[in-house]
């Protein structure tokens, strides 16, 4: 046994490059998983902290539709005597919205410090109470115009100091704020990183919400069962108000990002899967190289169990080392990803400032488990194979190659079975995203399993053709087919990574193309005017006087109006887009269900249209009904049709503006679509409109071309992280191929020396090696192209559909394959370089003497 172990150690030490490459591959795979985990955990943690900062010690909240709650409801709650167990209930009014300070979008939280402090009595950290640490600040809070409080960290970031006025912007209108106090870092924590606290009066004035509250935070008495409390509280409130628990609210909000985070996790798993192949390749290679010594040791009496233990022990050590390096690497990559993930979340979902990287302990355990499992699974097959061979056979290389060719056939069968399983996974589920990803992985594995057979067939065919040209090329091709045991796995891994790369590239490109088509169809007005701010925030409204001034600009033929808000429904909060359309607008909606000739008249009479993702998410169809929480209670709206919409993956409801106003008593307008009269220059109209708004409200006034460009920019930004992840997976594959080719070339130096002694020049040897590796790279690519197409279909029709409900048409472009081609060639060339250089210089005698 000790001899076995010594042999193992000696072997590993004599092949450090191979060891390092295997380690690098595994580390990259594990690191990707860790990085994605860290990035999503950090975003989630930051979100939880900001909620904690915003909600304080509230257990429940009372909320209503887009217009908020009448503030008199709150005064009624606190001034009317109560009993029935509610005496110890605390209420705190909140007016919340978004403001921007320079480049930063911040949540503005208007509170009543006394009420909020009452809510937090007993809680260690109550947001607003913290702010008013002394009497003087309390007085300033109430009396200084524009008084705000923020965390020290935020004040540093904004470059604002105490007693210093600064400008903030709400829906395009500028206001002067004054920092009266800063919350010390020790008390604030990261939850306050994008939070501006001010008095409720100030918040109402800035946000234009006089008379309204965003919500009422409630703290239930500690000794009351939650259900009983909610019942008792409801009895004190008008029936149409929603009472929800703070925790449920938080869960629901963060759940919006589920599809996004599942996608990230799948991409990271892909990197690890490629890593598994790498380990398999490395370990089987190490075993192959030691076949003779293992055979000798077996002949000398080493048992199968002993050999198995040594090989698996090596793999376990590799796994642990890979886990450690992977964690370090993951932390490093994770820091970069945190930024990408939080930017995407901010672009698509909600405002969250992720300034702290949190590393869940579970992530590290997961990394360790993943690395160990990967290493052991990767090592198991070759270990079993060598153990199963009789000692004498183990000594013979040719047997191994024969077996490899045989197993290529077995693998081909496996590939077919895997593909069938993938098809089955898709066919038997309709909505499950997990089943979709399972199918995707089965498909990738199927590609990997088919690669050796494909390579073998290609090489044999090529050898036949090549024999017409030169001995070198014929030799080179035949050689490839003959060395499947060493290169097959690496090529399979590369093939899989290339497949994923091509699939994702096609998916992203197709998506982008569909988006572009949709944008061209949808963005029909010449100029769009909107109040800046978060999409559905209430304070995003155009000043009526400004609207009048804008519409007085000459050259305007027609204009549409829109108001975007969030409304309640039995299925949770939904985005509602209330629009007053002009005839030219209708063509902007592509109905994928419902007859336009009937849908639009119904729409004008009060029916709604819903977007494709919403229809998918809530399983709604034309002709069914959707219940929305109006200001006068729940009301069912008939669905007149479903339209294509890529702007909002959660989906939205389209309603006639007049209908909306009747249901919600909110007459604000957040955006205008302006159609210019024929012959009016867009540039001139733009500048005239900007002049009209100047000094009154800072509005976003953009041409349709700008809107399209901006949409595409955001789209591209959200896919940056996807690209980063598939490059990581490709990196792992490249490392794998490099390591396999390197080992192979080095191992057959004797063979090459023999060829050289037979007259092959050093340049000829180098060419031989180059041709072989490039052939392998191209073979992997060839296998990856059809597989990549299939993957793209799965990604667009299964994954994207199930995650977001979008239908995306496939768009193929040569560019989608070029990256894969570059990767395949670059990897092959890089792998060939060193062996080619070495073999050209190697001393013939030394080469021949080996073995």
Partner 1 sequence: MAQHRWWVVALVCAAHAAPPGTVAGGPGAARGDFAEALEPRRFEFPRDHGPHPAFRQEWWYLTGNLDAAGGERFGFELTFFRVALLPRSDRPATDASAWRAREIYMAHFAITDAARRRFVFQQRLSRSALGLAGAQSEPFHVWLDDWSLEAAPSAPIGAWELHAAQPGYAIDLTLEPQGAPVLNGQAGLSRKSARAGDATYYYSIPRLSVRGRLLREGRTLELNGLAWLDREWGSGGLGASQVGWDWFGLQLDDGSSFMFYALRQRDGRRDALSAGTWVASDGTVRALADADVSIAVTDYWRNGSGERYPAAWRIRVPAVALEIAVHPVLAGQELRTTPPYWEGAVDVSGNRAGRALGGRGYVELVGYAAERRPAGAGGADTQLHSR
CB-wise, 144 or 403, nearer to partner 1? Answer: 144
Note the Cα 844 to chain centre separation in Å.
54
Q: Are the C-beta atoms of 195 and 151 separated by less than 8 Å?
A: yes
Range 261-320, binding partner 1 (CB under 8 A): none
CB-wise, 113 or 847, nearer to partner 1? Answer: 113
- Report in angstroms how near the CB of residue 800 gets to partner 1 at its nearest: 46
Range 202-261, binding partner 1 (CB under 8 A): 202, 204-205, 210-211, 221
Q: Are the C-beta atoms of 643 and 652 separated by less than 8 Å?
A: no
Residues 6+ apart with CB under 8 A from 811: 506, 509, 510, 513, 514
- Report in angstroms how near the CB of residue 245 gets to partner 1 at its nearest: 22
395-399-400 Cα angle (round to 5) = 90
- Report in angstroms how near the CB of residue 558 gets to partner 1 at its nearest: 32
CB-wise, 238 or 623, nearer to partner 1? Answer: 238
Tell me the residue length of the chain.
Answer: 851
- Out of 5, 104, 125, 144, the only residue in the binding site for partner 1 (CB under 8 A) is 144
- Out of 37, 64, 71, 645, the only residue in the binding site for partner 1 (CB under 8 A) is 71
Backbone angles phi, psi at 568, to 5 degrees: -85, 155
With b meaning 16 or more CB within 10 Å and e meaning fewer, what string describes 137-165? bbebbeebebbbbbbbbbbebbebeeeee
DSSP annotation string for 520-531: HHH--SSEEEE-
Binding map of partner 1 across residues 429-448, x = CB under 8 A, - = no contact? --------------------
Which listed range, 16-24, 82-90, 182-190, 777-785, lies at the site for partner 1 (CB under 8 A)?
82-90
Which listed range, 43-51, 137-145, 330-338, 766-774, lies at the site for partner 1 (CB under 8 A)?
137-145
Q: Is 575 in the site for partner 1 (CB under 8 A)?
A: no
Q: Are the C-beta atoms of 668 and 563 separated by less than 8 Å?
A: yes
Backbone angles phi, psi at 396, to 5 degrees: -95, 125
- Report in angstroms how near the CB of residue 75 gets to partner 1 at its nearest: 5
Q: Are the C-beta atoms of 117 and 222 separated by less than 8 Å?
A: no
Residue appearing with tokens 């949770």: 572
Q: H or E segment at 375? A: helix 361-388
- Out of 102, 145, 623, 809, the only residue in the binding site for partner 1 (CB under 8 A) is 145
- Out of 25, 29, 65, 128, the only residue in the binding site for partner 1 (CB under 8 A) is 128
Q: Are the C-beta atoms of 375 and 319 separated by less than 8 Å?
A: yes
- Out of 10, 139, 598, 849, the only residue in the binding site for partner 1 (CB under 8 A) is 139
Structure tokens at 633: 């209670």
Instruction: Give start and end residues of each alpha helix (H) in 16-169.
Output: 16-55, 71-79, 113-120, 127-131, 135-143, 152-158
- Out of 7, 12, 140, 572, the only residue in the binding site for partner 1 (CB under 8 A) is 140
Q: Are the C-beta atoms of 354 and 46 separated by less than 8 Å?
A: yes
Q: Are the C-beta atoms of 788 and 818 separated by less than 8 Å?
A: no
C-alpha to C-alpha distance for 313 and 367, rounded to whole angstroms: 18
Q: Are the C-beta atoms of 762 and 841 separated by less than 8 Å?
A: yes
Q: 578 in helix, strand or coil?
A: strand
- Report in angstroms how near the CB of residue 88 gets to partner 1 at its nearest: 5
CB-wise, 126 or 190, nearer to partner 1? Answer: 126
- Out of 114, 258, 388, 710, the only residue in the binding site for partner 1 (CB under 8 A) is 114
- Report in angstroms how near the CB of residue 672 gets to partner 1 at its nearest: 23
Which listed range, 124-132, 661-669, 680-688, 748-756, lies at the site for partner 1 (CB under 8 A)?
124-132
Q: Are the C-beta atoms of 677 and 556 separated by less than 8 Å?
A: yes
* Sheet strands (E) in 664-806: 671-676, 700-703
CB-wise, 133 or 746, nearer to partner 1? Answer: 133
Beta-bridge partner residues of 93? 216
Q: State the CB neighbour count (10 A cutoff) for residue 24.
A: 22
With b meaning 16 or more CB within 10 Å and e meaning fewer, what string describes 250-262? beeebebbebbbb
Q: How many residues bind partner 1 (CB under 8 A)?
A: 45
Binding map of partner 1 across residues 84-103, x = CB under 8 A, - = no contact? ---xx-x-------------
- Out of 12, 105, 138, 457, the only residue in the binding site for partner 1 (CB under 8 A) is 138
Binding map of partner 1 across residues 681-720, x = CB under 8 A, - = no contact? ----------------------------------------
Structure tokens at 659: 């209908």
CB-wise, 113 or 172, nearer to partner 1? Answer: 113
- Out of 9, 17, 75, 303, the only residue in the binding site for partner 1 (CB under 8 A) is 75
CB-wise, 113 or 191, nearer to partner 1? Answer: 113
- Report in angstroms how near the CB of residue 226 gets to partner 1 at its nearest: 18
Strands 633-643, 671-676: parallel, antiparallel or unpaired by DSSP? unpaired
Range 173-202, binding partner 1 (CB under 8 A): 199-202
- Report in angstroms how near the CB of residue 81 gets to partner 1 at its nearest: 5
- Out of 22, 41, 129, 760, the only residue in the binding site for partner 1 (CB under 8 A) is 129
CB-wise, 132 or 755, nearer to partner 1? Answer: 132
Binding site for partner 1 (CB under 8 A): 71-72, 75, 78-83, 87-88, 90, 112-118, 120-121, 128-129, 132-136, 138-140, 142-145, 163, 199-202, 204-205, 210-211, 221
């Amino acid at each position: 046994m000790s001899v076995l172990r010594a042999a193992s150690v000696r072997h590993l030490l004599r092949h450090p490059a191979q060891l390092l490459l295997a380690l690098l591959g595994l580390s990259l795979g594990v690191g990707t998983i860790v990085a994605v985990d860290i990035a999503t955990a950090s975003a989630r943690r930051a979100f939880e902290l900001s909620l904690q900062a915003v909600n304080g010690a509230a257990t429940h909240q009372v909320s209503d539709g887009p217009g908020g709650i009448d503030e008199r409801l709150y005064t009624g709650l606190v001034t009317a005597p109560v009993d029935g167990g509610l005496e110890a209930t605390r209420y705190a009014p909140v007016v919340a919205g978004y403001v921007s300070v320079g480049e930063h979008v911040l949540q503005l939280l208007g509170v009543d410090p006394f009420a909020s402090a009452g809510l937090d009595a007993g809680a260690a950290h109550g947001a607003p109470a913290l702010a008013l640490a002394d009497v003087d600040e309390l007085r300033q809070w109430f009396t200084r115009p524009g008084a705000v409080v923020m965390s020290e960290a935020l004040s540093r970031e904004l470059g604002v100091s105490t007693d210093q006025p600064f400008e903030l912007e709400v829906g395009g209108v500028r206001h002067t704020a004054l920092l009266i106090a800063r919350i010390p870092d020790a008390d604030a924590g990261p939850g306050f990183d994008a939070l501006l606290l001010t008095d409720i009066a100030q918040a109402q004035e800035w946000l234009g919400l006089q008379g309204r509250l965003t919500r009422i935070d409630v703290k239930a008495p500690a000794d009351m069962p939650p259900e009983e409390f909610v019942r008792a509280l409801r009895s004190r409130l008008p029936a149409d108000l929603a009472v929800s628990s703070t925790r449920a609210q938080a869960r629901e909000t963060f759940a919006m990002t589920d599809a996004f985070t599942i996608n990230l996790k799948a991409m990271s798993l892909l990197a690890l899967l490629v890593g598994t192949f790498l380990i398999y390749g490395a370990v089987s290679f190490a075993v192959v190289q030691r076949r003779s010594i293992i055979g000798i040791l077996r002949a000398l009496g080493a048992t199968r169990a002993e050999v198995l233990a040594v090989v698996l022990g090596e793999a376990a050590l590799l796994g642990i080392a890979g886990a450690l390096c992977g964690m370090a690497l993951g932390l490093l990559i994770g820091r970069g990803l945190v930024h990408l993930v939080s930017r995407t979340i901010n672009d698509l979902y909600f405002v969250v400032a992720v300034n702290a990287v949190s590393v869940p302990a579970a992530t590290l355990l997961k990394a360790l488990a993943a690395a160990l499992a990967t290493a052991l699974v990767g090592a198991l097959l070759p270990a079993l194979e060598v153990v199963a061979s009789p000692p004498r056979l183990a000594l013979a290389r040719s047997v191994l190659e024969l077996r490899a060719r045989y197993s290529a056939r077995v693998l081909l069968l496996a590939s077919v079975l895997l593909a069938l399983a993938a098809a089955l996974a898709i066919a038997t589920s309709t909505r499950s995203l997990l089943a979709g990803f399972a199918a995707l992985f089965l498909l990738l594995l199927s590609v990997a399993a088919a690669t050796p057979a494909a390579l073998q067939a290609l090489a044999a065919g090529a050898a036949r053709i090549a024999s017409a040209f030169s001995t070198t090329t014929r030799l080179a091709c035949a050689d490839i087919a003959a060395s499947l045991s060493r290169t097959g796995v690496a090529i399979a891994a590369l093939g899989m990574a290339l497949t994923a790369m091509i699939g994702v590239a096609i998916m992203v490109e197709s998506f982008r193309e569909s988006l572009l088509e949709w944008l061209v169809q949808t963005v029909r007005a010449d100029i769009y005017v909107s109040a800046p701010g978060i999409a559905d925030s209430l304070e995003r409204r155009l000043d009526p006087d400004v609207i009048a001034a804008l519409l007085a600009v000459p050259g305007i033929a027609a204009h549409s109006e829109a108001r975007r808000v969030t409304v309640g429904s039995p299925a949770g909060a939904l985005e509602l887009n209330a629009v007053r359309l002009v005839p030219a607008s209708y063509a902007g909606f592509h109905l994928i269900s419902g007859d336009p000739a009937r849908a639009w008249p119904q729409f004008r009479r009060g029916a709604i249209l819903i977007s494709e993702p919403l229809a998918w998410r809530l399983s709604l169809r034309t002709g069914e009904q959707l219940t929305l929480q109006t200001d006068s209670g729940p009301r069912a709206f008939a669905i007149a049709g479903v339209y294509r919409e890529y702007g909002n993956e959660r989906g939205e409801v389209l309603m006639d503006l007049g209908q909306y106003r009747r249901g919600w008593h909110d007459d604000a307008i957040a955006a205008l679509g302006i159609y210019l009269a024929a012959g009016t220059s867009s540039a001139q109209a733009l500048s005239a409109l900007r002049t009209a708004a100047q000094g009154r409200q800072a509005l976003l006034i953009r041409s349709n071309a700008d809107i399209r460009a901006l949409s595409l920019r955001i789209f591209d930004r959200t896919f940056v992280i996807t690209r980063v992840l598939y490059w990581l997976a490709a990196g792992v594959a490249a490392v794998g191929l490099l390591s396999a080719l390197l080992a192979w070339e080095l191992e057959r130096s004797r063979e090459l020396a023999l060829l050289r002694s037979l007259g092959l020049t050093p340049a000829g040897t180098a060419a031989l090696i180059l041709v072989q590796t490039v052939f392998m790279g191209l073979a992997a690519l060839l296998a990856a192209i059809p597989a990549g197409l299939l993957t793209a279909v799965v990604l667009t029709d299964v994954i994207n559909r199930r995650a977001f409900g979008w239908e995306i048409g496939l768009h193929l472009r040569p560019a989608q394959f070029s990256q894969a081609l570059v990767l395949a060639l670059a990897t092959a060339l890089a792998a060939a370089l060193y062996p080619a250089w070495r073999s050209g210089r190697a001393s013939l005698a030394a080469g021949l003497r080996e073995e």
